[in-house]
Structure 1
Amino acid sequence: MFLVIVAALGGGGALWWLNQGLATSANTVDLAIEPGTLPRDVAQAVVDAGVQVNPLLLYGWFRFSGEARQIKAGSYEIERGVTPRRLLRKLVRGDEALRAVTLVEGWTFVQVRAALLKAEQLKPTTRGLEPDLIMKSLGRPGLHPEGRFFPDTYTYAKGSSDLALLKRALRAMDKRLDAAWAQRAPDTPLTTPEQALTLASIIEKETGRPSDRPMIAAVFSNRLRIGMMLQTDPTVIYGLGNRFDGNLRRSDLQTDTPWNTYTRTGLPPTPIAMPGKSALLAAVQPAPSKALYFVARGDGSSEFSADLEAHNRAVNKYQRGQQ
């Protein structure tokens, strides 16, 4: 039978058939090819997906082309009117149907999981799993997930798992953190990459204007150096968890949690969000400054002060409207 098919393809009608658009059951049909699928089964999978073509003839073309063994596993979108020639080219190149999901700088792990659940055609294999089980599945048992995934836009094939995407984001953060730590200032008060990640997450949440990151890093580094409390609201909010209703009260600042930097000195035990590349670099390369305080000006930027008296004047000016 194969020799008959080859002979047919080698005849005068072969070129015509190879360039004829194929009918499909819909404008676009989905084709999934698992690793290790034989060329004959690929041809049948094309037909099962909704492409109207003789599977033996298609298989014969795969074999005759000499590229049958180069067909790549993956998820593909096959459009109505595709020719046998273009179909094989797509499968050999591995032009998969890709989707994308964006993990945003400053997001928490809860927000990351919510985004992955909403991502189109992403298999929710971690749905319902506790964070510690997810980290164990990623090969990092005992590691807290917060801040461990690099914020970026990730493309994925239809039907890919959210666990596979998380693994890519985890490795990306490992790489970015290692690169930042290698560039740390010699006088940094930080002693480990994990501390740098935690400080970077705070900088990410505190920054209203990107250009202020090195100065905000300087404030926190200076405080760490002299044992002064960081007193940063985002850590308090993180520690409150679901109890935070959008309004941070004085009583919240006095409610002790492991993340409350108003009641505890030093860095909190874990990051509080995902820092981006700029926040990571700022954490290890703070601006050369003696500033110990900063206050929001109201336009996204911050006013920095080296002493409490100057800080109080800035608070009166920018927060209370007093000149």
Structure 2
Amino acid sequence: MENYSAYPSIAGAFLTKVLTHFRPQRLRLPLSQDGYARNLLLPVAGRAEIARAAVDNLDRACRAPELREKLRDIHKRQAVQDLRISVLGDEYFAKYYNYEDIPRILEGLGWFADAERNFHTHCYLHAAGLPVPRPLGLLREYSHGLLRRAMLLTERIQGATDFKQFIVGLETLSARQRLRFYTELGKALGRLHRFGAYTEDTDKNLMVRAKGDGFEFFFLDFDNSYPWRVATLRRTLKAVGKYFPRAVNIRMEERQAFLDSYLRERGKPAWRAILGERLNVSPSSTSSAAMQTAPDAPESTEKQREAA
């Protein structure tokens, strides 16, 4: 795995994501069952044999009439939840892309096809050590030189719950757990945004998993992510509110904990007033509880961020 700069600039994030696009390996595969030409994109640190085995398992699964029928009913893109792909004890998740109409076929001519955007963004973020499912490969199928189908394979996150389902049960957690949840969520989102990754539906594509006294967050599905599309203040204002749905009673100290953690990780203390207004947090309030629950950062790093 390659190590990228700990906190890239906007220009650095753009350049790194563009370079990530050109670096994956491409393997030729035999024709599909219905005669489509195929190739398999692998991450830079790809596992070719495991990816090939996963594609073989996928081909066997697709021979089932009910799965073929289900894939035919997908007219754009969809995660295939009940498709289980296992290799050497590890399980992989599949998302299917169908390029059947003219606009989507034309989109597939360039490197901005949504399947490729999703794959390359996952490669970039995983290589940088961010919490995303490990990408295994992108299977692409062509007819007469035009992209017609694709299947993105990523590692399945075991024991994780969809964010929108998890937050409904927030009341079952203790006050300390709730505070820690929002502190760690702010840190995870701030780090994602600091690496230049932004998509409008991040809250729909976030998985939560308990880990000891804390929580792990996994971001996925970057179909709507572009290299130049970063989390500016305007986009951040639009994004952060999605983590505080009106139907859930979220306390003031939890909002403060999220805001403190996000701004500290993002390195944007000047945004406090306007983000605080968006989250209904008083501009003068601070959250010492967030500092208590957040993992300690080296003193020199913390001072650098406060000075930024």
TM range (shorter): under 0.3
| Structure number with higher relative contact order (C-alpha < 8 Å, ≥ 6 residues apart) | 2
TM-score (ref. length: structure 1) = 0.25
TM-score (ref. length: structure 2) = 0.26
Highest Rg: 1 or 2?
1
